[in-house]
C-alpha cells in the first residue's frame, strides 16, 4: 500500500509537469518571438511583421491560460502530494518560489496591458516596450523555478541537524552548482522550441495553401532564431553534460549505460540491454563520452557500479537522453540546411521536402523538451532532494491520490483537446492574408502613421 | 515586530486582496451566465468582458502569491494542510483550471459558446465554496493526527453547521461584492440598463450576506470559544464593519456615489476579515500550528521580507498603470478604446 501511493504520487506529478511543460515552454519562448516581430515591423515599417506579432499574441494568450492553470495546479500539488517534502524543503526553497510568483505577476500585468493597447499609443515603440517586461517576466520565472529544481539536484546552503535544515542561506541554495547549466539549457531550449513551433506553422501553412509573403517572412525570421538558439542550445547541452560528469556522475552514467569506471569511455547510441546487462545492437563512438564529459578523449568517467544498487537511476533514461540530444542536433541541422538553400541561389528553400521537414521540427522540438525533462527527473531517482530525502519519504500517505490521478488525467485531456480546437478555429477561419486585407482597408494610413511617429 | 508577524500580516492583506478581486471575478462569471439564461446578456456582457479581459490573469496570481507566501513563511502549514486538503484542494485546483482556461477559450477563441460560459459561471461559485474549507479547518476539530499521518475527518466536516455557514457566506459575499463593483463600473460606463440590473443584484444579495455573516459568527462561538472571545474583544472592528455596510446600502439604495458605496463594502469586509484574523492569533491551525512554532528560519524570513518589499516596488506601479488604463480611463470603460 505504501509503495502504491508513492507510485501514484509520482504519476500525478509527472503527468501534471509533462502537460505543463508544453505550455510553460511556449510561455517562455513565444513572447520573445512576438517582441522580435513587432520590433522589426516598426523598424521596417512592414505591416506583415506587426500582423505576425498580433496573430501570435492572440494564439499565445490561449496557451498562456492553460499554462497558468496547470502552473497553479503544480504549485499546489507540491504541498498536496508531497507534504513531507514541502515541510522540509520549504525552509530553503521558499525564496525562489516567491520570486517566481513575482516574476509571473509582473508578466501577467503587462500581458494584459499589451493585449488591450494595440491602438492606444501614438508612438508604436511605446507599445513595443510593453513586450520587454513580458519577455523578462517569463524568462525570470523560468530562471527562479529552475533554481528550485537545481536545488533538488544539488542541495546546498544549509546544515542538516536532527532531520531538519538549519543555518539556512537561501541565496546560496538558489545559486547551487546545478543552477547555471540548468538555467542556460532551459532558456535556450525554450526559445528554440518557440521559434521551431512558429517556423513549423508557417511551413505547414505554405504546404497547404501555397507560398505567401506573410508566411515567407515568418519562416525566414523564425528559422534565423532557430539557428541562433539551436547553436546556443547545443552549447548549453554540452555545459550540462560536463556539469553532470563532475557533480552527478550516476545520472550521466545511467544515461550512457556506462557501468565500469574507465578512461577513454565510449559514447553509446541507442541499442538495448539483455538480462545480463550487456549492451546489444548499439552504436559505439570510441572515446567520445570522455570527451563529452571532460573535453579530453582519455579522461576517466565514473561508472554506475561505483554507486550502491538502491541509489542508481533507472536505465531507461538512456533512450530519453539519446532522443533529446538527437532532436537537438536535428533542429540545428534543419536550420543550417534551410539557410544553405537560401544562400545557394540555385536551390529553392521553399521546396516541398524542406518545408515538410521544417513542419515536422515543431512537434520534434516539443518532444525534445519532454524527453529532456523526463531524463533530468527520472535520472534523479530515487532521490527527491539528492542525498537528503528519498521520494518515498516525501509522498502523501493518502490513498485518494489514485483517484486524483484519473481526475487530473481527464482534466488534461479536456483542456488539451479544447485548446487545440479553439486555436484551430481562431486561425483557420481567419487566414493571415484575409486579415491583412481587412486591416489595411480599415486603416489605410497605418504604415505611414507608424513612420511619422518613429 | 518579528518577521513572522510581518509575514502573516502581509499574507493576510494579500488574502484580503484576493478575496476582493476574486469575488468580482467569480461573481461576474456567474452573472454573465445567469444573464445569458434569462436573456439579459446583451445588457451586461460587454461590460463584464471589458473589465475582466485585461485582469483575469492577475486575479489568479493573487491566489498563488498567498499560497506560496504562507508555505514559505510557515513550512509546517504545507505538511498539515497539504495532507488534509489533498482531496478538497485538488478539486479546487481542477475547478480553477477549468475556469481559467475556459474564460480564455470563450473570450479570445470561440465566442458565444453556452457550454464554455456555463463552465466559467458555475465554477465561479464552486471555487469559493471549496477554498473556504481551508478556513473552516483552521478552527480545529476537523483534522485527525494518528502518529505521523494527518487526515481530514470528512464526517465531522460535513455534519458541522459551521462549515456550511462558512460555505454559504463565501458564496453570497462573492455575489454581493461582485454586483456592487459592477454597479460602480456600469455607472462609470454610463450604461443605464446595466447599471439598473447590477444595482438590483447588489441590493438583493446584501441581505443573505449579512444573515450568513451572523450565522457563521454564532456557530463559530459554539465551535471555537477562544476565537469567538477574541473577536468579541475586537467588537469595535465588527461594529465598524456593520457601519460601513449600512452606509453602502444607503448609497446603493438611493442610487448615488456608487464608487463610494463600493469602497464602503471593501472596508466592511476589510474590518470583518481582520477582526477574524486577529482573533485567530496566534494559531494558523488550531491546535497544531501557531505562528511562532511553524515559522521558517530567520534568514529565510528576512530574505522573504526583503524580496517582498522589492517586489511591491515593482508591482504597485504596474497595478496603478493597469487601473489607470482599464478602470479609471473613462473612454476605455465606455468602450471607445
Describe chain B by its helix, strand, coil percentages, rounded to 5. Answer: 85, 5, 15
Are the beta carbons of A97 and B300 separated by less than 8 Å?
Answer: no
Q: What is the pLDDT of residue A304?
A: 81
CA gap A278, A257 in Å, rounded: 9
CA gap A273, A389 in Å, rounded: 30
Strand runs labelled E in A304-445 = 383-385, 389-390
Nearest-Cα residue of chain B relative to residue A119:
B337
Identify the band that residue A444 occupies on the pLDDT scale cut at 50, 70 and 90: low
Strand runs labelled E in B137-194 = 143-146, 149-152
Identify the band that residue A454 occupies on the pLDDT scale cut at 50, 70 and 90: very low
pLDDT above 70 (res A1): no
Side-chain-side CA neighbours of A139 within 13 Å: the count stands at 15
Task: Indicate the Cα dihedral angle A358, A362, A363, A366, nearest 10°.
Answer: 140
Query: How large is the average pLDDT for residues B111-121?
Result: 76
Residue A69: list chain B partners with CB under 8 A: 60, 96-101
B108 to A62, B101, B113, B139, B326: CA distances (angstroms): 7, 10, 12, 42, 18
List alpha helices for A281-316, DSSP H.
Answer: 288-294
CA gap A224, B189 in Å, rounded: 47
**B98 touches A at CB < 8 Å:** yes
Q: Do the Cβ atoms of A158 and A168 come closer than 8 Å?
A: yes
CA gap A90, A98 in Å, rounded: 11
Q: Do the Cβ atoms of B117 and B36 come closer than 8 Å?
A: yes
Residue A78: list chain B partners with CB under 8 A: 71, 78
Q: What is the pLDDT of residue A275?
A: 66
What pTM did the predictor assign? 0.85
pLDDT above 90 (res A34): yes
Percent of chain A with pLDDT over 70: 95
**B89 touches A at CB < 8 Å:** yes
Model confidence over B237-247: pLDDT tens digits? 889 999 998 89
Residue B308: list chain A partners with CB under 8 A: 98
CA distance B200 to chain A (A): 30
CA gap A56, A36 in Å, rounded: 12
Of A43-47, A129-133, B299-303, the one with minimum mean pLDDT is B299-303
Q: What is the pLDDT of residue A3?
A: 57
Best of A413, A418, A430 to mutate (most B CBs within 10 Å, chain B): A418
Residues 279-318 of B with CB under 8 A from A: 296-297, 299-300, 303-304, 307-308, 311, 314-315, 318
Nearest-Cα residue of chain A relative to residue B107:
A62
Q: Do the Cβ atoms of B139 and B162 come closer than 8 Å?
A: yes
3-state secondary structure of A142: helix
Residues 423-452 of A with CB under 8 A from B: 423, 425-426
Residue with cell 459575499: B173
pLDDT above 50 (res A451): no
**Residue A262 is inside which H or E element, if any?**
strand A262-263
Best of A104, A108, A413 to mutate (most B CBs within 10 Å, chain B): A108
Are the beta carbons of A102 and B307 separated by less than 8 Å?
Answer: yes
Of A431-440, B5-14, B325-334, the one with minimum mean pLDDT is B325-334
Best of A59, A145, A422 to mutate (most B CBs within 10 Å, chain B): A422
Look at A166 and B92; give whichever has higher pLDDT.
B92
Amino acid at each position: 500500500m505504501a509503495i502504491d501511493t508513492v507510485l501514484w504520487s509520482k504519476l500525478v506529478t509527472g503527468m501534471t509537469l509533462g502537460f505543463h511543460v508544453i505550455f510553460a515552454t511556449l510561455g517562455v519562448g513565444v513572447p520573445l518571438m512576438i517582441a522580435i516581430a513587432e520590433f522589426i515591423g516598426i523598424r521596417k515599417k512592414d505591416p506583415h511583421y506587426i500582423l505576425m506579432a498580433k496573430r501570435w499574441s492572440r494564439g499565445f494568450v490561449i496557451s498562456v491560460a492553460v499554462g497558468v492553470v496547470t502552473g497553479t495546479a503544480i504549485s499546489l500539488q507540491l504541498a498536496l502530494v508531497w507534504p513531507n517534502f514541502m515541510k522540509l524543503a520549504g525552509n530553503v526553497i521558499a525564496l525562489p518560489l516567491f520570486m517566481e510568483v513575482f516574476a509571473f505577476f509582473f508578466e501577467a500585468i503587462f500581458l494584459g496591458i499589451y493585449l488591450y493597447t494595440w491602438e492606444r499609443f501614438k508612438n508604436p515603440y511605446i507599445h513595443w516596450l510593453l513586450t520587454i517586461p513580458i519577455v523578462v517576466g517569463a524568462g525570470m520565472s523560468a530562471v527562479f523555478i529552475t533554481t528550485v529544481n537545481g536545488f533538488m539536484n544539488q542541495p546546498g546552503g544549509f546544515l542538516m541537524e536532527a532531520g531538519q535544515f538549519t543555518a539556512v542561506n537561501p541565496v546560496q541554495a538558489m545559486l547551487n552548482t546545478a543552477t547555471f547549466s540548468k538555467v542556460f539549457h532551459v532558456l535556450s531550449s525554450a526559445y528554440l522550441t518557440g521559434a521551431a513551433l512558429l517556423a513549423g506553422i508557417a511551413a505547414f501553412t505554405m504546404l497547404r495553401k501555397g507560398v505567401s509573403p506573410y508566411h515567407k517572412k515568418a519562416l525566414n525570421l523564425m528559422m534565423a532564431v532557430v539557428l541562433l538558439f539551436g547553436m546556443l542550445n547545443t552549447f548549453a547541452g554540452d555545459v550540462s553534460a560536463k556539469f553532470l560528469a563532475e557533480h552527478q556522475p550516476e545520472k550521466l552514467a545511467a544515461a550512457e549505460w556506462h557501468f565500469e569506471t574507465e578512461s577513454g569511455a565510449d559514447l553509446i547510441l541507442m541499442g538495448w540491454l539483455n538480462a545480463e546487462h550487456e549492451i546489444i545492437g548499439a552504436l559505439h563512438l570510441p572515446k567520445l563520452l570522455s570527451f563529452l564529459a571532460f573535453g579530453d578523449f582519455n579522461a576517466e568517467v565514473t561508472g554506475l557500479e561505483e554507486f550502491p544498487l538502491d541509489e542508481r537511476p533507472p536505465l531507461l533514461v538512456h533512450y530519453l537522453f539519446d532522443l533529446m540530444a538527437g532532436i537537438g542536433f536535428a533542429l540545428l541541422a534543419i536550420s543550417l540546411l534551410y539557410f544553405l538553400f537560401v544562400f545557394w541561389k540555385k536551390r529553392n528553400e521553399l521546396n516541398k521536402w524542406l518545408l515538410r521537414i521544417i513542419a515536422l521540427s515543431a512537434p520534434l522540438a516539443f518532444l525534445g523538451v519532454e524527453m529532456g525533462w523526463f531524463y533530468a527527473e527520472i535520472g534523479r531517482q530515487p532521490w527527491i532532494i539528492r542525498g537528503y530525502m528519498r521520494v518515498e519519504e516525501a509522498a502523501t500517505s493518502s490513498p485518494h491520490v489514485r483517484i486524483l490521478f484519473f481526475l487530473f488525467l481527464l482534466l488534461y485531456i479536456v483542456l488539451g483537446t479544447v485548446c487545440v480546437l479553439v486555436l484551430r478555429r481562431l486561425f483557420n477561419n481567419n487566414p493571415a492574408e484575409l486579415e491583412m486585407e481587412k486591416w489595411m482597408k480599415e486603416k489605410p494610413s497605418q504604415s505611414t502613421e507608424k513612420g511619422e511617429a518613429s | 515586530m518579528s518577521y513572522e508577524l510581518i509575514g502573516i500580516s502581509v499574507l493576510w492583506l494579500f488574502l484580503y486582496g484576493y478575496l476582493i478581486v476574486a469575488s468580482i471575478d467569480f461573481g461576474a462569471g456567474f452573472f454573465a451566465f445567469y444573464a445569458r439564461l434569462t436573456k439579459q446578456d446583451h445588457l451586461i456582457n460587454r461590460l463584464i468582458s471589458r473589465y475582466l479581459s485585461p485582469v483575469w490573469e492577475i486575479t489568479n496570481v493573487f491566489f498563488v502569491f498567498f499560497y506560496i507566501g504562507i508555505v514559505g513563511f510557515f513550512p509546517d502549514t504545507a505538511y498539515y494542510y497539504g495532507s488534509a486538503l489533498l482531496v478538497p484542494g485538488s478539486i479546487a485546483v481542477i475547478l480553477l483550471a477549468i475556469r481559467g482556461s475556459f474564460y480564455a477559450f470563450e473570450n479570445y477563441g470561440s465566442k458565444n459558446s453556452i457550454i464554455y460560459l456555463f463552465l466559467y459561471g458555475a465554477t465561479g461559485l464552486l471555487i469559493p465554496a471549496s477554498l473556504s474549507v481551508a478556513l473552516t479547518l483552521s478552527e480545529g476539530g476537523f483534522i485527525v493526527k494518528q502518529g505521523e499521518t494527518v487526515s481530514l475527518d470528512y464526517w465531522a466536516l460535513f455534519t458541522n453547521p459551521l462549515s456550511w455557514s462558512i460555505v454559504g457566506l463565501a458564496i453570497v459575499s462573492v455575489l454581493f461584492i461582485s454586483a456592487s463593483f459592477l454597479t460602480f463600473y456600469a455607472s462609470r460606463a454610463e450604461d443605464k440598463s446595466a447599471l439598473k440590473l447590477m444595482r438590483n443584484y447588489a441590493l438583493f444579495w446584501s441581505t443573505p450576506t449579512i444573515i450568513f455573516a451572523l450565522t457563521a459568527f454564532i456557530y463559530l462561538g459554539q465551535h471555537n470559544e477562544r476565537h469567538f472571545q477574541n473577536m468579541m474583544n475586537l467588537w469595535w472592528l465588527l461594529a465598524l464593519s456593520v457601519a460601513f455596510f449600512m452606509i453602502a446600502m444607503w448609497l446603493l439604495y438611493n442610487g448615488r456615489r456608487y464608487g463610494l458605496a463600493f469602497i464602503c463594502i471593501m472596508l466592511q469586509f476589510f474590518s470583518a476579515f481582520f477582526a477574524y484574523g486577529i482573533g485567530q492569533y496566534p494559531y494558523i491551525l488550531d491546535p497544531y500550528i501557531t505562528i511562532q512554532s511553524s515559522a521558517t528560519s530567520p534568514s529565510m524570513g528576512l530574505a522573504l521580507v526583503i524580496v517582498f518589499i522589492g517586489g511591491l516596488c515593482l508591482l504597485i506601479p504596474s497595478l496603478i498603470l493597469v487601473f489607470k488604463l482599464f478602470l479609471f480611463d473613462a473612454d476605455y470603460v465606455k468602450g471607445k478604446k
